[in-house]
Amino acid sequence: MKVPILIPNIFNHPFTYDSDLKLKVGDYVVVPFGKSELTGVVWDEFEKKTNKNFAIKKVARKLNVPSLKKNTIKFLNWFSEYNMIPKGMALKLLLLTSNAIEETSSEVYEQFKIDIKQNKIELSKDQKSCLKK
């Protein structure tokens, strides 16, 4: 199934990718672009007809993040037209970075956990009275 993927870059049109995944408008995906992989969003309209012959690449994977709402996509289309900026740049403003951040399980963070030892400091009577004051 062919899907339009908008990449948060200076492009004013989505790129066509092939996918075996069940994707809907607004889903975040990782796609090959040039020599790297980029985060993109399944967009609501395909690129306008071109007579170019090109190889269609496959979507690498779907990200486990909440999808963009159709109203947000409609707003981004209007925003880019009104402000005369490419749709990809409007999407980049929404993401703030070029990537969407996936939620990870708490087990991933266990390797960074530090065992903090509690120091047992005994205060003298004078120190305890000063602390109370």
CATH of domain 2-100: 3.40.1440.60
Structure tokens at 108: 């991933």
Q: Work out the widest C-alpha separation in the chain, in whole angstroms.
A: 89
Q: How wide is the angle at C-alpha 30 spanned by C-alphas 62 and 26, nearest 5°?
A: 60
Higher-pLDDT residue of 55, 89: 89
In this prediction the pTM is 0.70
72-115 pLDDT tens trace: 999 999 999 999 999 999 998 888 666 666 666 777 777 777 77
Q: With H, G, I as helix, E, B as strand and everything else as coil, classify residue 128.
A: helix
Ordered by start, the domain boundaries in the chain are 2-100
Q: What is the pLDDT of residue 74?
A: 93
- CB under 8 Å to 47, separation ≥6 — which residues? 4, 13, 14, 15, 16
Q: What is the pLDDT of residue 83?
A: 94
